[in-house]
Amino acid sequence: MLFLMARTTPPDETPRTPRPPKDEVRARVIRAAGQVFAERGFAGATIDQVAAAAGFTKGAVYSNFGSKDDLFLALMQAEVTTRVAAVERSLAATTDLPDALAAVGAELSRRDPTWQLLFLEFWQRAVRDPAVREAFVASRRDLRARIAVVVDRFLAEHPARTGWNAGTLTLVLVSLTHGLAIEGLPDPDAVPPDVVPRVLADLLRGE
Amino acid sequence: MLFLMARTTPPDETPRTPRPPKDEVRARVIRAAGQVFAERGFAGATIDQVAAAAGFTKGAVYSNFGSKDDLFLALMQAEVTTRVAAVERSLAATTDLPDALAAVGAELSRRDPTWQLLFLEFWQRAVRDPAVREAFVASRRDLRARIAVVVDRFLAEHPARTGWNAGTLTLVLVSLTHGLAIEGLPDPDAVPPDVVPRVLADLLRGE
DNA sequence: ACGCTCCGATACTCGCTGGTATTCGATACC
DNA sequence: GGTATCGAATACCAGCGAGTATCGGAGCGT
């Protein structure tokens, strides 16, 4: 391996810093961690793999994160944030409840296994580790609350008399969606496409 | 652990072999694997831990299972079997459809965190590893099919006219229960106790 | 009784991975 | 331009854990 005696003559150096962007490293590592962790699982993934996927080496990772766990937490933080934002966005796009919920459902259960895998990984840690659990629960509640706001508005506008309140209805939607994803991801044939709407129809059909 | 110095005099020897049970070792190892894997995760658990939990050493494990994965598959097999048996039992106990479905739901989503953790760990591996997936999908279909048979019988007996066929209804039930477990395990307050029966009531309320 | 066989225990190997200490290069400041 | 600083690369280490080879003793057939 030869290093070219890189010259240092400043004169003609590119004005724009070809700098190895400061915290972009951090972002890239986190992104890479998302991929690798989703692919091999937290315990199954190695720091070297993450670093490589990000285009760096272990040193970069450890100079940005204290430990593997630290990296994991950072990833969860980032992922949850973007996730909540995505849901929020899809909710804002329409005023029609079924549409909105369908959008949320689609958002929550993207056929993309990556998110499901990661989410479950987070979940597992939350169940096992009280410290993680706190943050996890908070974000879940936040997510459900945001969806519930929309549901609530709809229920108010449409006096479809139903025994359901917004919170519980939201819980059912979110839970059902996740549960279906669990069945459907390894076995796509197992889940007919219109299950969620049909269930919702039954639930909202005034008593 | 006492082995009675079992005598060998054939005449009066206890008819039942006081022997250090042959394949009971296997059973104990599997049971221990269930606990340990659920507690630390598959990758996070060690063969030594499993062996110790079963009251043996690594040697016992490796003389009964070819590898860690092998043990894992065996565990899954066993778990599903006992699970199905439990469901069938709870269904046999009642003739009322809602009651029966609620019972099934309860059975499927016991607050027992062990099972949920374990199941989702299976799921993760299934999604990631094609070999595991095959076995996983097969046992899932088997599970749903068995439940569906009974649901079907009930639907036939109880002319509750509903747009749902047994298979889809079962899918919804199973999925919903799992999804609720995901929300409820880290955050018990999030899930009211009677959600499943209420949803089922709506779904079965004849159209 | 006797020895054969099986299976669990013990001890060891070996690769791997998280973490650390150090080096090296470049940016930022003087 | 020279130097201090920061962050990534490299080299390295120690522990750990899956898997293996071997040992020993308990059943079982004869």
The pLDDT, as a whole number, for residue B113 is 73
**pLDDT band for position A29 (cuts 50, 70, 90):** very high
Among A127, A133, A200, most B C-beta atoms within 10 A, so best to mutate, is A127
Cβ neighbours of residue B200 under 8 Å, at least 6 residues apart? B98, B101, B102, B105, B173
Which parts of B61-169 are beta strand (E)?
none
**pLDDT band for position A67 (cuts 50, 70, 90):** very high
Which is more confident, A54 or B2? A54
The pLDDT, as a whole number, for residue A169 is 92
Tens digits of per-residue pLDDT, A157-181? Answer: 876 667 899 999 999 999 999 999 9
Is A110 near chain B, with CB under 8 Å?
no
A4/chain B closest Cα distance in angstroms: 43
Residue A142 burial (C-beta neighbours within 10 Å; 0-12, 13-18, 19+): middle
Which is more confident, A131 or A168? A168
CB-CB contact of B174 with B108 (8 Å): yes
Average pLDDT, chain B: 82
Is B160 near chain A, with CB under 8 Å?
no
Task: Considering only CA atoms, name the residue closest to the C1' of nucleotide D27.
Answer: B19
Q: Tell me if A190 and B178 make a contact (CB, 8 A cut-off).
A: no
Tens digits of per-residue pLDDT, B51-100? Answer: 999 999 999 999 999 999 999 999 988 988 888 888 888 878 877 777 77
Tens digits of per-residue pLDDT, A74-85? Answer: 999 898 888 888
Chain B residue numbers with beta carbons less than 8 Å from the beta carbon of A189 are none
What is the distance between the alpha carbons of residues A95 and B137, in angstroms, rounded to a whole number?
38
Of A120, A177, A190, the CB nearest to B120: A120
CB proximity A3–strand C (7 Å threshold): yes
| Closest nucleotide C1' to the C-alpha of B29 | C8
Q: Tell me if A176 and B174 make a contact (CB, 8 A cut-off).
A: no
Q: In the predicted model, what is the mean pLDDT of residues B97-120?
A: 76
Tens digits of per-residue pLDDT, B22-63? Answer: 789 999 999 999 999 988 989 899 999 999 999 999 999 999
Residue B18 confidence (pLDDT) above 70: no
What is the distance between the alpha carbons of residues A93 and A2, in angstroms, rounded to a whole number?
55
**pLDDT band for position B161 (cuts 50, 70, 90):** low
> Token pair for residue B146?
């068995």
Sign for the CA dihedral angle at B115, B120, B121, B123 comes to positive
The pLDDT, as a whole number, for residue B3 is 36
Local structure of B165: helix, strand or coil: coil
Which is more confident, B119 or B12? B119
Interface of A with B in 164-203 (CB under 8 A): 168, 171-172, 174-180, 182-183, 185-187, 190-192, 195, 198-199, 202-203
Average pLDDT, chain A: 82
CB-CB contact of A27 with A81 (8 Å): no
**pLDDT band for position A21 (cuts 50, 70, 90):** low
What is the percentage of chain B residues whose pLDDT exceeds 90? 33
pTM of the predicted structure, to 2 decimals: 0.82
Of A133, A172, A198, the CB nearest to B195: A172
Residue of B nearest to A174 (CA): B179
**pLDDT band for position A5 (cuts 50, 70, 90):** very low
